[in-house]
Amino acid sequence: MVGNYSGPGGNHAFLFAGTNLTDLGTLPGGLSSSAYGINNAGQVVGVSFSQPGSKAFVYLASEMWNLNALMIGPEASEWTLQEARGINDSGQITGNGLHNGKTRGFLLTPVPVIRPQLSPAGNFELSFWAMTNRNYLIQWSPDLFMWNELTNVIGKAAFLTVSDTVIAATNRYYRVIQQ
């Protein structure tokens, strides 16, 4: 069960599981918060209130995350996610926010995204968002047809970074497959 309660630190979102009540706190600079949705993995969504406005959050791995900071892609700058209302067992999040200044509903779908970067050592580094306890196969290809395994990793609800020791000048393509 989730909701909000009035405690010594103010009005805060909470998670009640079994006999344990967990105060979820607020996002940095937040004044209060409320939780509205939870899935079977214990991932919680809601809103953290601050000045000048509110921010949608997801609570993963014992930490509250600002959903606005987790969005990537060109459309991310068009949105201000104000309130997350629900989360399903696939991690999809619904809520409302401002899209180009107008109030709109949203549906966020978590997608493992590769962001290749060149490390100071001259290697490729791949970063992507990984869901808790999900297995990810990272593969590389010289031609987009023949794929080779680079590594397997298990997600921990955070951005994961994987390094490829090949020299960056080599032509390589990368993909992440959630298993």
What integer pLDDT is reported at residue 123 of this predicted model? 73
Domain-by-domain residue ranges, the chain? 2-108, 115-178
What are the tens digits of pLDDT across the range 71-128? 766 677 899 999 999 999 888 999 999 999 999 999 998 754 455 667 777 777 777 7
- Contact of 67 with 36, CB cutoff 8 Å: no
Top-confidence residue, 172 or 56: 56
Q: Quick one: 102 exposed, middle or buried, by C-beta within 10 A (0-12, 13-18, 19+)?
A: exposed
The DSSP call for residue 178 is E
Tell me which residue of 51, 53, 59 sits closest to 3, measured CA to CA: 59
Q: Which residue has tokens 């009640």?
A: 16
Residue 162 has pLDDT above 60, yes or no: yes
| Residue 113: per-residue pLDDT | 42
